[in-house]
Amino acid sequence: MKTSGLSSPDGPGYYFDLMIEFQQVYKSYGRGIDTLADVTFGIAQGEFVFVSGPSGAGKSTLLKLIAGLDVPNRGTVLVNGKNVGKLPGRFRPYLRRAIGTILQDVHLLSDRSAFENVMLPLTVTGHSRSAAAKRAHAAIERVGLSGKDGLRPQELSGGDQQRLAIARAIVNRPGLLIADEPTANLDRESARRIVEVFRDFNRVGVTTILATHDESLITDYATRVLLVKEGRVTDGGKRTPRLGGEVHA
Report the interface residues with ligand ATP, using CB under 6 A. 29, 35, 53, 55-61, 213
Comparing CB distances to ligand ATP, the nearer of 55 and 128 is: 55
Cβ closest to ligand ATP, residue 171 vs residue 217: 217
Residue (149 or 181) nearer to ligand ATP, CB: 181
Cα-atom radius of gyration of the chain, to the nearest Å?
18
CB of 144 vs ligand ATP, minimal distance in Å? 26
* CA–CA distance, 21 with 15 (Å, rounded to integer): 9
Least separation in angstroms between CB 185 and ligand ATP: 13
Closest CA to 212 of 185, 182, 169: 182
Helix (H, G, I), strand (E, B) or coil at 22: strand
Nearest to 217 by CA among 235, 239, 242, 185: 242
Q: Taking the complex as a whole, how short is the minimal distance between the CB of residue 122 and ligand ATP, in angstroms?
A: 29
Collapsing DSSP to helix, strand or coil, 201 comes out as: helix
What letters, b where the CB count within 10 A reaches 16 and e where it falls short, cover 135-153?
A: bbbebbebbbbeebbeeeb
35 vs 101, beta carbon nearer ligand ATP: 35
Q: How far apart are CA 72 and CA 10, in angstroms?
A: 27
Least distance between ligand ATP and beta carbon 231 (Å): 9
Nearer to ligand ATP, 65 or 164 (CB): 65
Least Å distance between CB 195 and ligand ATP?
A: 17
Q: Which is nearer to ligand ATP, 61 or 101 (CB)?
A: 61
Length of the chain: 249
The minimum distance between CB 38 and ligand ATP, in angstroms, equals: 16
Q: How far apart are CA 199 and CA 187, in angstroms?
A: 18
DSSP 187: -
